[in-house]
Amino acid sequence: MFKNNYLILGMTFLLLIACIVFIGSTAIAQERLVLATTTSTENSGLLDVLIPPFEEKFNTRVDVVSVGTGKAISLAENGDADIILVHAKDAENEFVEAGFGVNRRDVMYNDFIILGPTSDPAGVKGMENASKAFSKIAKTNSSFVSRGDDSGTNKKELSIWASADIEPSGNWYIETGQGMGASLNVANEKEAYILADRGTYLAYSSDLDIEILVEGDSQLFNPYGIIPVNPAYHNHVNYQMAMAFVGYITSQQGQKIISEYTAYGKVLFHPSAIKLKNLK
Amino acid sequence: MDYILSALKDAINLILSLDPEVSNVVGTSLKLSLTSTFLAALFGIPLGIIVSKIDFKGKYFLNTVLNTLLSLPTVVLGLFVYSIISRRGVLGEWGLLFTIRGIIIGQVLLIIPIVVALVRNAIHDIDEKMYKTAMSLGATDSQKFRLLISEARYGIIGALITSFGRVIGEVGVSMMIGGNIKGFTRTITTAIAMETNKGRFGFALALGIILLSISFIINFILYFFQSGESK
């Protein structure tokens, strides 16, 4: 039976490792807060400096799940997250009105920008009105890349089309169904226009030929809100810890971390829970 | 070309510097894929023997279903498991979503069909005469079981290697069920997906190189077990 020994040895070895890791993985018994947020927030790196002081103070673990705004909201509706940090004001209001969330607070804002090829075939460079710029792009049938993934950026883009009274369709309108980064690359390859959040654009800017053409319109304002899941609707959620996190992120300490955070040499987010002049 | 060269450099630096985040991600991936492969073997090997050696009604149908499941996309399986373990799902109260255990459930379901189908094939390939001789000599059930295992051992190890490779390289289940939570459920593959999204292509490629290296080492060890006995 010597032949069999190697196999048995191998199997026992595997069994041993598996048992050890399985026991190891159950040993953690720390309190846990599941935060569903958008990819733009996590990719910016802000949460890596914002969350650790909270975890330490409250002896808890914040598990960040980063998905598109649409998916973050549906995770919360299903009770699979304790709290959400997203950017789509209308969808957030619907979420609260339907009774899924309570105590929404403003946290911070940044802005969207319209990018396009340097040749600028639609001639939108320097325009101050986003809907007018969109109309011009549509009228000249210039290629435009849309996320098409129900993310906060996609919702914003659709609302700008709606305000320009245009239903975008045709060969020039390219829906990628992918994240911001992948979509920026598509726009770059196709020399197309695209709406992007400033943070992701900065992360990619060294690899991109398309440039900022329109910025600064109030319509391009991008506010982030935080909403705990309603414990009356999903009674298993960690509501107490969620409210503690809301308290922390809107406190002097939390807002200060947001205002001081820079990436790629630029400030990415501006706190909005406390007025800048009151920030100590 | 630049990407590949700088990725190779990044990969070597990351391994040599024992970057804590990278070792954490690598540890999670190994933990998950070893546990899932082990559990799938525990259920899959006996099932494979049953499917190949015992005749029952609907066997033809079952075999077809098994072969179909081999082409199951990980995202579809991820969605299916999500719908069951979400708080609104049947097992919602167990709180398995976004945990290591949740991912293991998904991965085991992903590779059980592979283990069963490949073990079934391995046993089909055994010399039928030997098994019949053992039966005629009055072998007990446990003796028959051991005979099958020892005769089909190459095929069985092959099934486990294939399964391990499938789980360590899959991203759909880990992403949907695990949620790519930093320091907890982030695996090599979900980290690659995220870094690509961030535009850090070099770093993502470096992680890919690390994944392949780990897979190489594990296969090297298993191959040693396989060939060690024939020498």
Binding-face residues of A in 161-180 toward B, CB within 8 A? 179-180
pLDDT of amino acid B190: 94
Beta bridge partners of A212: A115
pLDDT beyond 50 at A2: no
- So what's the pLDDT on residue B231? 42
Tokens 């949907």 map to which residue?
A: B176
Interchain pair A10, B101: CB under 8 A: no
- Does the pLDDT value for residue A19 go beyond 80? no
Q: What is the DSSP string of A36-69?
A: EEEHHHHHTTHHHHHHHHHHHHHTEEEEEEEE-H
Q: Are A104 and A96 in contact (CB under 8 A)?
A: yes
Q: With contact defined as beta carbons under 8 Å apart, do B104 and B32 qualify?
A: yes
- Inter-chain contact B197–A34, Cβ cutoff 8 Å? no
Tell me the C-alpha distance between A179 and A38, whole Å: 10
| Joined tokens for residue B230 | 């024939």
Residue A234 CA from chain centroid, whole number: 24
Quote the tokens at residue A150.
Answer: 């129900």
Q: Given a cut of 80, is residue A15 above it in pLDDT?
A: no
Q: Is the pLDDT of residue A20 over 60?
A: no
pLDDT(A267) > 70: yes
Q: Is the pLDDT of residue A5 over 80?
A: no
Q: Which phi and psi angles does A226 have, rounded to 5°?
A: -120, 135
Mutate to test the interface with A, among B3, B6, B30, B31 (most CBs of A within 10 A): B31
For residue A44, which of A7, A83, A85 has the smallest C-alpha distance? A85
As a whole number, the mean pLDDT across chain B is 88
Q: What is the mean pLDDT of residues B194-213?
A: 85
Question: In which element (H, E) is residue A212 found?
Answer: strand A211-214
Residue B229 structure tokens: 């006995």
Element (H, E) at A144: strand A144-146
How many other C-beta atoms are found inside a 10 Å radius of the C-beta of residue A124? 22
What distance in Å separates the CA atoms of residue A64 and residue B184, rounded to the nearest whole number?
10
Phi, psi of B87, rounded to the nearest 5 degrees = -55, -25
Query: CA A26 to CA A16: how far, in whole Å?
Result: 16
Residue A158, number of CB atoms within 10 A of its CB: 17
Q: Which residues of A touch B157 (CB under 8 A)?
A: 7, 10
Work out the average pLDDT over B81-103. Answer: 92
> With bands split at pLDDT 50, 70 and 90, how would you rate the model's confidence at A45?
confident
State which amino acid sits at residue B63: N
Q: How confident is the model at residue A6, as a pLDDT? A: 61
According to the model, what pLDDT value does residue A1 have?
Answer: 42
Distance between CA atoms of residues A228 and B121, nearest Å: 52
**What tokens appear for B82 in the block?**
């999500």
Instruction: With a threshold of 0.85, tell me whether the complex ipTM lies above it.
Output: no
Q: What pLDDT was estimated at residue A11?
A: 64
For chain B, give the percent of residues with pLDDT over 70: 97
Average pLDDT, chain A: 89
Greater confidence, A8 or B24?
A: B24
CATH number of B2-226: 1.10.3720.10
Strand-strand pairing, A31-38 and A60-67: parallel
> Which tens digit of pLDDT belongs to each residue from A95-124?
999 999 999 999 999 999 999 999 999 999
Q: Map out the domains of chain A with their CATH numbers.
A: 31-109+223-278 (3.40.190.10), 114-220 (3.40.190.10)
Q: How far apart are CA A209 and CA A192, in angstroms?
A: 11
Q: Does A207 touch chain B (CB under 8 A)?
A: yes
Task: List, as ranges, residues 179-198 from A with C-beta within 8 Å of B.
Answer: 179-182
Contact call for A63 and B179, based on CB within 8 A: yes
The beta-carbon neighbor of A4 closest among B87, B150, B226 is B150
Tokens found for residue A156:
């914003």
Of A2, A6, A80, the CB nearest to B86: A80
The pLDDT value recorded for residue B195 is 85
Averaged pLDDT for residues B173-200: 90
What CA–CA distance (Å, rounded) separates A257 from A57? 15
Element (H, E) at B124: helix B100-124
**Out of B38, B97, B196, closest to residue A18 by CB:** B38
To test the contact with chain B by mutation, choose from A13, A14, A42, A149 the residue with the greatest count of B C-beta atoms within 10 A, namely A14
8 Å CB contact of A203 and B97: no
Per the model's pLDDT, the better-predicted residue between B8 and B40 turns out to be B40
CA neighbor of A233 nearest in space, from A9, A4, A80:
A80
Write down the pTM of the prediction.
0.84
**CB contact set of A117 (below 8 Å; sequence gap of 6+):** A191, A192, A193, A209, A210
Q: How far apart are CA B219 and CA A70, in angstroms?
A: 41
For B97-125, what is each residue's pLDDT tens digit?
A: 999 999 999 999 999 999 999 999 999 88
